[in-house]
Structure 1
Amino acid sequence: MLTPFGTDLWLAEGPVVEGMAGFRFPTRMALMRLGDAGLAAWSPVAPTEALLAQAEALGPVRWLIAPNALHHLFLPDWVRAFPRARVLAAPGVREKRPELVIHAVLGADPVPSAFAGALDLAPIRGNRLFTEVALFHRASRTAIFTDLLQALPPGWFRGWRGLVAKLDRMQEAEPTVPRKFRIAFRDRAAARASLAPVLAWPAERLVVAHGAPVERDAAALLQRAFGWLQEGRGR
């Protein structure tokens, strides 16, 4: 079910999904109103009748956003539910979902003019694993990340997976960049350049797909989360 999280922004929890090597992750989506441009669904989770009805009651769902090449599992379900919505996807999604019409590749194609003044998008480049597109929803002053920032609760992973998660920094006290993604930033100059607008966002709140939402001081948190990269430090 959708729950409010700031002005014109709603969150919904989805099912737990299984990734590589049996690692299981919670899922979360955001639905945001973009003024007269309708609603945008970021990283859509598995739809239920109740969730789709709630979304439709809030206004026309005109945009479906897949923010990186790992978050596309339920995109076809939302395309079927809202066939008139335009699909915006990060690099790599089109190759994984050739059956879908991708209307724009974020970071390569022009950003829809309807987003101006409502939603900022920043492709985070320089990572050899994927290009994640971070968002800033202006009405709610919320920064939105998918996988580059994580903070899973203690005890979420058990056994050897729990040890790996701890070493990978997936379960820090606040959202931070997991170690594997830090290592994957091979072009750090490109990463710093693409992060510059993100670190300038006047963000009060932060939403991540894998971790609890942050309700205050998000701009300072982003500075801490990416400080290692800005300062040229190691892992």
Structure 2
Amino acid sequence: MSQVSSAALIIGASSGVGRALAEQLAKKGYKLLLVARQERDLSALANHLNQTTSGKVSYLSLDLSNWNEEKSQRLFERAENSLGDVSRLFLISGANSESDQFPLSSRTLSSLFEVNALAPIHIANQITTEHKKWKLKSITVCSSIAAPVPRSRNIAYATAKAALESFVTGCRHYLSSQNIPFQIYRLGYVDTNLSFGQKLLFPAISPENVAQVLIKKSDKDLGIVYLPFYWRFIILVLKALPWTIYKKLSF
């Protein structure tokens, strides 16, 4: 990754991939604005990185649910004051729920769609629209292997991630003449608290390894990428299955 533009906004920075990304970018001397809901976690992380790395790390506690104009204004005012520009946008945030299955409540559906799709879409929209003001150099998004192969479980999460992918692809098309690289990572199993103790069909990748790839590839216009790469072939097989077989699968 080029060090000429060294300001990054990380949405979903307090744990998992977002935290690993913040740690690695701070070690490279980046100016960072970390955004997540848990202020205690953000404060501890920012203080630690400011003391142990050459990075300049700020944070903003912000709940992505019920996104509105006031939250948007807070975010971008803080970004302008802390970073000056947003050369790198990382949309890492994600949330799921054990209740994300049928019968699906309106509350679960709304909250998961707000956090996984609507808020990131609003942020991507403003950054894309004002890309010259923010001196945008790249947009990186974390989606999921659930997006292309919906099932009865995690259906709201998968639908939201698919919507985010679609919108960001539209942003990529809009900015194609500006040569701004986009990456949309469909992540497989990631070794986090959410996956701890679960029986997984395939090995989980560590958040640190995911972060390394995101940083290394952020200057490349890749579009949709599977991580680990073998999920591309698994998803191709699943999508090729006739419905009579697919409907019997439990995964």
TM-score normalised according to structure 1 size = 0.37
TM-score normalised according to structure 2 size = 0.35
Q: Choose 1 or 2 for highest CA Rg.
A: 2
| Larger strand proportion of the pair | 1
| Larger helix proportion of the pair | 2
